[in-house]
Structure 1
Amino acid sequence: MIFAAQSYLLTVKKYCYALLICLPLLFVALRAHAWGFFGHRLLNRLAVYTLPPGMVGFYKANIDYLTVNATRPDSRRLLVPGEAPKHFLDVDRYGDSAEFKLPRKYADAVARYTEDSLLRHGIVPWNVVSMKNQLTAAFKAKDTDRILRLSADMGHYIADACVPLHTTRNYNGQLTGQRGIHGLWESRLPELLSADYDLFSGKAQYLPNATDAIWAAVIRSHAAVDSVLRFEKQLTAEFSDDQKFGYEQRGSQTIRTYSREFSKAYHARLNGQVERQLRYASGLIGDFWFTCWVDGGSPDLTQMTRLPSEAEQQRLEREAKETAAAPVAGTAPGHDE
């Protein structure tokens, strides 16, 4: 058991280092959302190692698919109508203690607020529950393509729900003079520091109530919003502008970004918050995958087609070409940075 845990941690650290080496070349190709390119791929990959024997072989065989396609929902934001609201929930649009009071059933929320209003302010927890039902159905149907596609996508949305700034209308500090904090918390800190994180979350657990589980994630995330914003503001008062920001080479571009000194000071002030949320998110993704498999009848995955079909690969290639042809910036509703 100890050896297995050590082997797992070694695999995670090697993967972190590999991503960090490749990141400068890849960063400019994909606009950052939520945990960013690095974080989302790392989280889906970590989640695979939480799965039980009946699942882990199938998921490990497809770990590259699950890793690469972890960012696909962000790529769709400017292409697919209705995609953007699936990534966030502006809890503070609904008043005090809204995270505890909002209807857990989407139909009840529509009846109270109208669907147009919900889509303006985000639907991430309701979307995760919908995807949970879809993935459960895919396991029942023993449909390899749908299982992989939905697993990759659902991992992304669950991770989004674990990000504090995805639960507030002040998602990028634009209301408090802290514009850019979105990328600082969700991308800059993991990119710089995650190779030293302890991301072992244990084995996946069955969720007796998946709705409660994703809302618990939203509640946890929203409770952290105050510290995310307050600590950054405190540190900004302690750093001069040329100390707070610096320039780094990303591929062929030189970009202005938060300095390593400021980023490390912010990480220290947060007292491991980003690390805890990454660990929590990877465990929760595994919990949802496991729960869907159990609720789908625990099918014998060794008896199914093991890899995505040629049709699925072709579909992904077409989607990638459409994404590459789309503009980098746009006017998609929601938490665009």
Structure 2
Amino acid sequence: MGREVKAKEMAEWALGPLSVNASRGLGLSFGPPQGVRCGRKIAGRLHFSKAAGFVPARKAQNFAFRFSPICLAFLMFNLSRRVRRWLPVTALLVAAPSLLSAWGTWGHQRINRAAVLALPPALRTLFYNHIDFMVEESVIPDLRKYTINDRAEFPRHFIDLEDYGPGPISQLPQTSKEAYAKYDPAFLDKSGRLPWYIQDMMGKLTQAMKNGRKDDILFIAADLGHYLGDAVQPLHTSANHDGQLTGQKGIHAFFESQLVEQFGSSYNFKVAQPKVIDPVAETWRILAQSHAAADTLLSIEKTLAAATPAAQVYAVDAQGQIKKNVFNSQVHALPYATSYHTALKHMVERQLRTATQAAADYWYTAWVNAGKPDLAKLDTEYTTRSNAKNLKTELKLIQKGKLVDFSSFPEFETLK
């Protein structure tokens, strides 16, 4: 991956969302000067990775451009003065690829993609026209959290339910208004704001749809998909989020990243047609289910570890040292990972599918509550027609529970 980044993401890392007119939501709506070669053509449908660069709007489907000095010069020439002031900050971020993803890149990206395909045609048209943006943006909340150390971002990704008292979850403030009135901001930052931030995002998405603001709709919806994915990850609901309280440190990355990267290709991502939900009640229902699963996944791993010789728990290199992933997490041995995955009885797949259903339900509910506006008109007919063939292909695949093959930043090596 090196020092290559996508143009739009590069700007977003420094500034947050930009209001730009992007073809298919992939990059800024301009390309390098005619005759300047900034990349290479790639065959077939383009599924952008972090290595994608500047994309001419009219060629977004067929080209990727590698980040280079001449492309940077073109970016600086075209971007506003405000953006130029942030380019030194962006350059620092480009130089830190090891921090690009906190966890679950593979899962978050597939949650959003599958959720787009589950939408009814009236809503799906806009989202699918920009599906590559929806996929890539799904991990941006983690980049804000770790890459630029946005302090406000951290508590949006979890809630340590144990910190809120021993009573049932139904006794907690259900709405964000109630929570912000009851709890001190410092407590919320320490113990998590996830359920209430989801509600805040739903309100913003509904308003964006009412206003017909395409950039806002896509940006908020994609980020909302990320937070819903966090809500269905059991360890994001527990103070014992990395097994540090039960002698299982490292289980967080093991459960949500190594297992999905190792076994996710077999998962079924087909979900039901989206339905209108009560966002408040549904958020707490999801969290209750997730929290109940946390003890299950921890106890299963604890039992497995006790029955497995210590030398067989982790993968080792030629020197006999435990292997580490790109974020310095220990890599579990394939037989151990396989046994754990089997003992979980499809829990990982089930949680990913729950997140996919949730994303589709929340997006659909926001659209209905906004009055079912015609969002397809926010794109040109040409844009929609140009995506029709690919959409048809993906809809056939999802009927079998499958998604098109696209690359995600690998956090763990594939063990064999």
For residue 241 of structure 1, report the CA deviation from its aligned partner.
2.4
Alpha carbons 1:48, 1:60 under 8 Å: kept: yes
Judged with a 3 Å threshold, the aligned counterparts in structure 2 of structure 1 residues 254 and 138 are, in CA distance, closer, same or farther, namely closer
For residue 55 of structure 1, report the CA deviation from its aligned partner.
1.1
Q: Map 1:104-183; keep pairs closer than 5 Å.
A: 104-183=174-253
The residue type paired with residue 300 of structure 1 is D
The C-alpha deviation readout for 1:91-137, integer Å capped at 9, x for no partner, is 01122244221111223223332222112100101000000000000
* Aligned equivalent of 2:12: none
* Aligned equivalent of 1:203: 273
Name stretches of at least 5 consecutive residues in structure 2 with no aligned partner.
Answer: 1-46, 52-96, 318-322, 384-416
Q: Map 1:42-121; keep pairs closer than 5 Å.
A: 42-78=110-146, 79=148, 80-121=150-191
The residue type paired with residue 240 of structure 1 is P
Q: Map 1:318-337; keep pairs closer than 5 Å.
A: none
The C-alpha deviation readout for 1:233-279, integer Å capped at 9, x for no partner, is 10111112221110479999998401111111111111111111111
Alpha carbons 1:92, 1:98 under 8 Å: kept: no
The residue type paired with residue 269 of structure 1 is A
Alpha carbons 2:276, 2:361 under 8 Å: kept: yes
Q: 2:334 aligns with which of 225, 246, 260?
A: 260
Distance 1:217 1:31 in 2: 28
Judged with a 3 Å threshold, the aligned counterparts in structure 2 of structure 1 residues 289 and 260 are, in CA distance, closer, same or farther, namely same
Q: 2:297 aligns with which of 219, 223, 228?
A: 228
Alpha carbons 1:232, 1:266 under 8 Å: kept: yes
The residue type paired with residue 125 of structure 1 is P
* Aligned equivalent of 2:108: 40
Q: 2:360 aligns with which of 276, 283, 286?
A: 286
* Aligned equivalent of 1:192: 262
* Aligned equivalent of 2:314: 245
Distance 1:237 1:52 in 2: 48
Judged with a 3 Å threshold, the aligned counterparts in structure 2 of structure 1 residues 252 and 299 are, in CA distance, closer, same or farther, namely closer
Judged with a 3 Å threshold, the aligned counterparts in structure 2 of structure 1 residues 113 and 201 are, in CA distance, closer, same or farther, namely same
* Aligned equivalent of 2:351: 277
For residue 29 of structure 1, report the CA deviation from its aligned partner.
4.1
Alpha carbons 1:89, 1:121 under 8 Å: kept: yes
For residue 81 of structure 1, report the CA deviation from its aligned partner.
2.6
Judged with a 3 Å threshold, the aligned counterparts in structure 2 of structure 1 residues 228 and 71 are, in CA distance, closer, same or farther, namely same
The residue type paired with residue 177 of structure 1 is G
Q: How many residues align?
A: 281
Greater than 6 Å deviation, 4+ residue runs: 248-255
In the alignment, is residue 215 of structure 1 matched against residue 289 of structure 2?
A: no
Name stretches of at least 5 consecutive residues in structure 1 with no aligned partner.
Answer: 1-17, 23-27, 308-337
Alpha carbons 1:51, 1:204 under 8 Å: kept: yes
The residue type paired with residue 210 of structure 1 is P
What is the root-mean-square deviation of aligned Cα atoms in Å?
2.4
The C-alpha deviation readout for 1:289-336, integer Å capped at 9, x for no partner, is 1111111121112211468xxxxxxxxxxxxxxxxxxxxxxxxxxxxx
Judged with a 3 Å threshold, the aligned counterparts in structure 2 of structure 1 residues 277 and 253 are, in CA distance, closer, same or farther, namely closer
* Aligned equivalent of 1:322: none
The C-alpha deviation readout for 1:153-195, integer Å capped at 9, x for no partner, is 0000011000100011110011111000001111111111111
Distance 2:184 2:235 in 1: 24
Q: TM-score, normalised by structure 1?
A: 0.78
Judged with a 3 Å threshold, the aligned counterparts in structure 2 of structure 1 residues 291 and 163 are, in CA distance, closer, same or farther, namely same
* Aligned equivalent of 2:371: 297
The residue type paired with residue 61 of structure 1 is N
The residue type paired with residue 56 of structure 1 is R
Q: What SS does structure 1 have at the residue aligned with 2:356?
A: helix
* Aligned equivalent of 1:314: none
Distance 1:254 1:211 in 2: 37
The residue type paired with residue 251 of structure 2 is I
* Aligned equivalent of 2:21: none
Judged with a 3 Å threshold, the aligned counterparts in structure 2 of structure 1 residues 63 and 29 are, in CA distance, closer, same or farther, namely farther
Greater helix share, structure number: 1
